Structure 1
Amino acid sequence: MTITAAADGSALGNPGPAGWAWYVDDAHWAAGGWKHATNNQGELKAVLELFRATAHLDDDLLVLCDSQYVINTVTKWMRSWKAKGWRKSDGKPVMNLEIIKELDEAMAGRNYRFEWVRGHAGHPLNEAADARARAVSEAFQAGRPIPHGPGWPREGGATDAAEPGTTPAPVGALDDAVAADSELALFSLDDPDLHEVTLWLTDDEHIRLHERARQEGVSAEALLRSLI
């Protein structure tokens, strides 16, 4: 089976308030962004988060992009840049290197194909991704809540998206929360009963949590319990 998804970015002013989004259907999409970034960063981030959101699936991935920059980065340039120590042929450093390195890691071992589609030409998936990326950039510009989307729902109803209508927390927010004052502990150790706690994570935080759990050879739940 092949998952077909569109990935797009938006930046008002370029650079300026920026958004990214990937879209498969109304039940499977996600978006996010920054107060200040470029359109290329949004385009790359959309693809990165698409690969992260589908990392638990065995399906092939067909990525639709209207950005030749993204497609060339992935299919033509990235391997050569990596071989040259992440330098271009003229010796200059690669732009947007942090996102590109993360994308290189996220794509490792995956079966995927990229296809260029013309932007703003009525392609339904591309238009859906573009609208959601732009909605995020406009939300940052206006100071409104960020529309994150449902992400990719998993077993038991969990998703890869942050709580709808909230602003993405910094990447280190999970670590900051764990290090918070002990008076804000999630559980009372004096109470023998179990308590259910819902923790909303951004896409970045979710990936970091599961990566750390894999490194320690435990489940994500066990890792969180070990921090209490």
Structure 2
Amino acid sequence: MSTLMASEHVEIWTDGGCKPNPGPGGWAAILIYKGTIKELTGGELETTNNRMELTAAAEALEALTRPCKVVLHTDSEYLKNGITRWMTGWVRKNWRSSTGDPVKNMDLWRRILDAAKPHEIDWRWVRGHSGAPLNERADELATQARDELLKTAKTL
């Protein structure tokens, strides 16, 4: 990993969800760098809460153009535990879970791993809907992305 400058610190807040689950979903990521805020959003018509949470993290990390120190906030224990606790075992077992089954959402986990490589990431879990302003904003953006997707799909 290259030497990182203090000015290359990025704060990221992510969220994703579906209604119903599985069903149409949206994801959002908020990136903050040197006081500048960038919001990313998207959605899928047939997906799951977990896929949207992982997509938000992958998209945020893929948006970074050079190695950074990142603090990534998520309200998904699945994302936080997957990347910080379970990932090593999955890779060691050739993407098999502790029960021997293929790891769910392997495509997105691999995207996250690849996108995370150049960065130094502090993965932080935050309780959802607990009043953290940027977590609430990410939730709002993910919901808007899902709603926009549904509106567009109805007009096709």
The TM-score with structure 1 as length reference comes to 0.60
Q: Which amino acid aligns with 2:28?
A: A
Counterparts of 2:148 and 2:70, CA distance in 1: 29
> CA deviation digits over 1:127-176, x for unaligned, max 9?
111111111111222327xxxxxxxxxxxxxxxxxxxxxxxxxxxxxxxx
Question: d(CA) in 1 for partners of 2:99 and 2:127?
Answer: 30
Instruction: Decide whether the 8 Å contact of 2:24 with 2:47 is kept in 1.
Output: yes
Equivalent pair of 2:28/2:138 in contact (CA under 8 Å):
yes
1:46 and 2:56 equivalent?
yes
Contact 1:8-1:126 at 8 Å conserved across structures = yes
2:47 aligns with one of 37, 44, 48: 37
- The 5 Å alignment of 1:194-213 reads none
In structure 2, the partner of 1:71 is 80
The answer (yes or no) to whether the contact 1:24–1:125 under 8 Å persists in 2 is no
Q: What residue in structure 2 maps to residue 28 of structure 1?
A: 38
Name the SS for the 2:137 alignment partner: helix
Is the 1:7–1:129 contact (alpha carbons within 8 Å) kept by the matching residues of 2? yes
CA separation in 2, counterparts of 1:14 and 1:101? 23
For residues 90 and 39 of structure 1, what CA distance do their matches in structure 2 show?
22
Aligned-residue sequence identity (percent) comes to: 34
RCO comparison, higher one (Cα < 8 Å, 6+): 2
- The equivalent residue for 2:4 is none
Structure number with larger C-alpha Rg: 1
Could you list the per-position Cα deviations for residues 180-222 of structure 1 after superposition, in whole angstroms to 9, with x for gaps in the alignment? xxxxxxxxxxxxxxxxxxxxxxxxxxxxxxxxxxxxxxxxxxx
Aligned mate of 1:9, from 16, 19, 23: 16
Partners of 1:47 and 1:107 lie apart in 2 by 10
Distance 1:102 1:115 in 2: 19
CA distance in 2, matches of 1:119, 1:43: 12
Cα distance in structure 1, aligned partners of 2:18 and 2:119: 29
Matches of 1:79 and 1:43 in 2, distance apart? 20
Q: Is the 8 A contact 1:8 1:46 kept in 2?
A: yes
Residue 122 (structure 2) aligns with: 113
Residues in 2 aligned to 1:16 and 1:143: alpha-carbon distance in whole angstroms: 15
8 Å Cα contact 1:22/1:47 also seen in 2: yes
Alpha-carbon distance in 2 for matches of 1:69, 1:97: 13
TM superposition shift of 1:47: 0.3
- Give the Cα–Cα distance (whole angstroms) in 2 for the partners of residues 62 and 46 of structure 1: 14
Where is the strand percentage greater, Structure 1 or Structure 2?
2
- Kindly indicate whether residue 135 of structure 2 is the aligned counterpart of residue 130 of structure 1: no
| Alpha-carbon separation, structure 1, partners of 2:122 and 2:129 | 21
Shift of 1:49: 0.6
* Aligned counterparts of 1:122 and 1:57: Cα–Cα separation in 2: 31
Checking the alignment, whether the CA contact within 8 Å between 1:5 and 1:125 is kept in structure 2 is: no
Q: Contact (CA 8 Å) 2:67, 2:118: kept in 1 or not? A: no
Q: Structure 1, unaligned stretches of length 5 or more? A: 145-228
Shift of 1:76: 0.6
Tell me the amino acid that sits aligned with residue 118 of structure 2. Answer: G
Which whole-Å CA distance do the structure 2 matches of 1:44 and 1:4 have between them?
Answer: 17
